[in-house]
A and B are shown apart, each in its own frame.
Chain A
Amino acid sequence: MRFRFTESAIDTEAARRELLDPGAGGYVSFEGWVRDHNEGLEVTRLEYEAFAELALKEGERIVADAVRRFPVKHALCIHRLGVLDLRDMAVWVGVSSVHRGEAFDACRFIIDQVKHRVPIWKKEHYRNGDSGWVNCERCAAGPRHSHDHDAAQFTVSAAPIAVIE
């Protein structure tokens, strides 16, 4: 399974080892972290929920598509479910490939597609005591809502990105 869920902290070191390949000259990863603000509100924690049966199929299709399309050696995406606190890692994507360019592109493709297509929902809890399902409530007024806020919800983590060639 190249797309999976976990209810506990993502073990990035174990995940990275799954991508090792003697033919790979580079590895790129992305981590999504829980941030303390979104669209002007102070966020205190997040809750993730998924329609697992379909999400696993759709996630697998995305990763398989990326591996074929760029192409890369291996790719893997792991998503957290349940309650997360600030600084927790919500999602991890790793890609290994012969050269770095495809690895960067495939990694970006996977996280973008996962955010758009996989039936996962995020409830934000705010400092003011309120809470809301992202993309469902505060924007529900617009019927042709695009499902894509493209808010930079996550920062690229400094440490785990390494390119070795």
Chain B
Amino acid sequence: MNDTGNTAPSGQSTAPSGPSTAPSGLNAAPVYGLILAGGSSTRMQRDKAALRYLGEPQLDRAFELASRHLTRVFVSVRPGQAADPTRAQHPLIVDSVAGEGPIVGIRSALAAFPSAAWLVMACDLPFLSAVALSQLLRERDAAALATAFMSAHDGLPEPLCAIWEPAAAAALASYQEAGGRCPRKFLIRHAARLLAPADPRALDNVNTPEEYAKALAAIEPAAIEPIVSGSNMQLKIQYYALMREQAGRSEETLETAAATPADLYGELAARHGFTLSRDQLKVAVNSEFSDWSRPLRAGDAVVFIPPVAGG
């Protein structure tokens, strides 16, 4: 085969079978989903998996999106995170190899199901879309070690929204043993199939409170005003019964960017360690029962209502 010079830019793969003609040919491994939620959220200063959009933790949103495309989806966690309520409700793959960073999660999944390929997604991609996942699956090259999008910013591979093939396991192990930690560098060095993303925004990740505020404003238009103005709302929260005991107080006044009672409960549950999940509760705003998605306004008084037991 000689290069005639008119090769399309998409022809970067050396795969023997054309990837776009047989994306999941007879011998291609089944693709499972892996949502990475083991990060330490250092820059965000709170657990990224539990950040909410439209009232839902982003981990749940990512899991639900992946489940629409894949038959089995797991959440990748570090050993100490398996009991965390945001994570524990999903099927988990707990890190089984030593080390740090996303490579450990990817290797642990490849070790848990050695014959599966993994569509690996970071949990902090709030704009990730069905368009992006369909493209990855459709244009997957099962003969490469991985299929990844090229970043719209620098053209480099995006390892945390990519399909990792079973054959990557051994190469990742060697890479890590040699001191490598960066999955992006790994993909640059190895034969990864790279795709130009049809939906470039899908790969924008959210690492800081400022980025979260911007993403929230884009996803939840109603929340724009309080966030863009930079002035978080002040809310009053009153606690009763079990909630009062767990919060260690009967009320507090709070500066928050939470746009809805659902967001607010996520924030406070993490801070106070509430044991009740949101679907066991009702919520009242200004002394009347409220919907969980009602937009909150400055000065609102919020009460979370645990299961009642009068009489």
| B80 in the interface (beta carbon within 8 A) | no
| A117 in the interface (beta carbon within 8 A) | yes
CB <8 Å contact, A121 and B308? yes
Q: Which residues of B contact A70 (CB under 8 A)?
A: none
Given A118-B308, A120-B309; A144-B279 close (CB under 8 Å): yes
Chain A residues numbered 80-116 whose CB sits less than 8 Å from any CB in chain B: 90-91, 111, 114-116
Q: Which residues of B contact A144 (CB under 8 A)?
A: 279
In the assembled complex, the Cα of A140 lies from the Cα of B240 at a distance in Å of 16
CB <8 Å contact, A133 and B306? yes
CB <8 Å contact, A79 and B308? no
| A156 in the interface (beta carbon within 8 A) | no
Given A49-B241, A51-B238; A145-B307 close (CB under 8 Å): yes
In the assembled complex, the Cα of A121 lies from the Cα of B277 at a distance in Å of 17
Partner pick for A135 among B277, B288, B309, CB 8 A cutoff: B309
CB <8 Å contact, A140 and B303? no
Q: List 22 A-B contacts (CB under 8 A).
A: A49-B241, A50-B310, A53-B287, A54-B288, A54-B289, A57-B287, A57-B288, A58-B289, A79-B311, A91-B311, A117-B308, A119-B305, A120-B310, A121-B242, A133-B241, A133-B309, A135-B307, A136-B242, A136-B280, A136-B309, A140-B280, A143-B277
Partner pick for A54 among B280, B287, B309, CB 8 A cutoff: B287
In the assembled complex, the Cα of A51 lies from the Cα of B303 at a distance in Å of 9
Chain A, Cβ-Cβ closest to B287: A53
Q: Mark B282-311, 1 if CB is under 8 A from A, else 0.
A: 001001110000000000000101111111
Q: Mark B229-250, 1 if CB is under 8 A from A, else 0.
A: 0000000001011100000000
Q: Which residues of A contact B311 (CB under 8 A)?
A: 32, 79, 90-91, 111, 114-115, 120, 153-154
Partner pick for A122 among B276, B279, B309, CB 8 A cutoff: B309
CB <8 Å contact, B279 and A147? no
| A130 in the interface (beta carbon within 8 A) | no
Q: Which residues of A contact B307 (CB under 8 A)?
A: 135-136, 145, 147
Q: Which residues of A contact B284 (CB under 8 A)?
A: 51, 54, 119
Partner pick for A121 among B275, B280, B309, CB 8 A cutoff: B309
Q: Which residues of B contact A50 (CB under 8 A)?
A: 240, 310
Chain B residues numbered 168-188 whose CB sits less than 8 Å from any CB in chain A: none
In the assembled complex, the Cα of A127 lies from the Cα of B276 at a distance in Å of 26
Residues of chain A touching chain B, judged by Cβ–Cβ distance below 8 Å, are 32, 48-51, 53-55, 57-58, 79, 90-91, 111, 114-123, 133-137, 140, 143-145, 147, 153-154
Q: Which residues of A contact B303 (CB under 8 A)?
A: 51, 54, 119
Specify the main secondary structure of chain A where it touches its partner. mixed
Residues of chain B touching chain A, judged by Cβ–Cβ distance below 8 Å, are 238, 240-242, 275-277, 279-280, 284, 287-289, 303, 305-311
In the assembled complex, the Cα of A48 lies from the Cα of B241 at a distance in Å of 9
Q: Which residues of B contact A119 (CB under 8 A)?
A: 240, 284, 303, 305, 308
CB distance from A161 to the nearest CB of B (A): 17
Partner pick for B309 among A53, A55, A111, A134, CB 8 A cutoff: A134
CB <8 Å contact, A133 and B310? no
CB <8 Å contact, B241 and A123? yes
CB <8 Å contact, B308 and A145? no
CB <8 Å contact, B310 and A79? yes
CB <8 Å contact, B280 and A118? no
Partner pick for B276 among A57, A58, A115, A136, CB 8 A cutoff: A136
Chain A, Cβ-Cβ closest to B241: A121
In the assembled complex, the Cα of A79 lies from the Cα of B311 at a distance in Å of 7
Q: Which residues of B contact A111 (CB under 8 A)?
A: 311
In the assembled complex, the Cα of A136 lies from the Cα of B119 at a distance in Å of 39
Q: Which residues of A contact B289 (CB under 8 A)?
A: 54, 58
In the assembled complex, the Cα of A115 lies from the Cα of B307 at a distance in Å of 10
In the assembled complex, the Cα of A123 lies from the Cα of B117 at a distance in Å of 51
Given A119-B240, A121-B241; A136-B310 close (CB under 8 Å): no
In the assembled complex, the Cα of A153 lies from the Cα of B309 at a distance in Å of 10
Ranked nearest first, the 8 interchain pairs of A and B with the lowest CB-CB distance are A120-B310, A121-B241, A135-B307, A115-B311, A134-B309, A122-B309, A53-B287, A133-B242
Q: Which residues of B contact A57 (CB under 8 A)?
A: 287-288
Given A53-B287, A54-B284; A114-B310 close (CB under 8 Å): yes
CB distance from B63 to the nearest CB of A (A): 16
In the assembled complex, the Cα of A49 lies from the Cα of B306 at a distance in Å of 12
CB distance from A39 to the nearest CB of B (A): 12
In the assembled complex, the Cα of A139 lies from the Cα of B306 at a distance in Å of 12
